[in-house]
Chains A and B, each alone.
Chain A
């Protein structure tokens, strides 16, 4: 077990104890919500974990780094940016996926761009966003997020 795991669990446990001291019934409700969200996310977690296993077991490192590695150039970055914008994966799941891509030869830039477009841009939810916020703001927000995702990724590639 690494340090991050321990810190995260201690932090959650501390919050839970504090919640129970403050309000027992509310804390119990929180636990019910926690259990429900856990069950809801479990199928996706299992699916992604198997996907990662297949990815690392079958796709050679050289293939992945050719497409989205350091030497892949701008085309590779565009590919992950579009992929991140179109796919509808919860950000919770995107981090292990990103870490497996890093391990198998993807560049920091590609991974950062992927996470950022994945979370900030939602092609699937765009109709809903247009209905609530209007065409102008929705399209501007998604379009500009696409650009800043690439900028963020490029800077991260330079500093990390």
Chain B
């Protein structure tokens, strides 16, 4: 559902006035001002989720720089496909329509389902906000104390492991771990982070895999057993959980999720000055203490925040497509 803000009417009126002025001055062909109206953001997941909280924390300082507020629409469904299809095919490429998505799981979904839009021809990610390592965790009072113990148990019997979706970097991490160690994991998808927490708390699954910042924000309710990161995790202050590769000597790839702003490629290419302004202002938000503070208020660790530009985002997204191809068989319903 669209969610306008209180200032919408004023903006519309402003928009009419702008249009009239532009009409009068058309013969002089001045450079168009940008932005001329509110930003409309498509979020391809449900409201109340991690994406919304992060986007709202970010939009305070950003909208102050841009001089226009953000309005949100939520289109969950089909692992993000609904939101993306809608954004690419039905939202005008006018620089005022943005998408805020989770590149990891959504690129995996893109690679699996092969929808009728193309990355990066139709849309590009241009501002990564965070790096959210995938992790394995159990509830605080679980008898499973370590990742080694979990793997040992899974070598004896197939363990039920909760996850938000099967096409997700965290799920791929666990399947890759199983491949490397001979452990057997049965992934149980809950359709979102919140239901996965419930399934873990009520003991329906022995452990779960999810991005780490949400798990940390749940406080002492969970114990993190291991982190999927090939190099060095920034979350050492919150958990003494080891890196999975360090424990098992494996070579599992980077399985972090990263949220990012996206925009229509066509608009970015046709309006390089405006796009540069959008890139520049979004990067400067990271220098604003208000952003980190708002993010921290959600209970998530600020260490997760990390800017990434268009090139970095594109490389990350293409790497996710490649990763998906390696695990296509276990991630897809098609025979």
- Same complex for A and B? Answer no
- Interfacial residues, chain A to chain B (CB-CB below 8 A): none
- Interfacial residues, chain B to chain A (CB-CB below 8 A): none
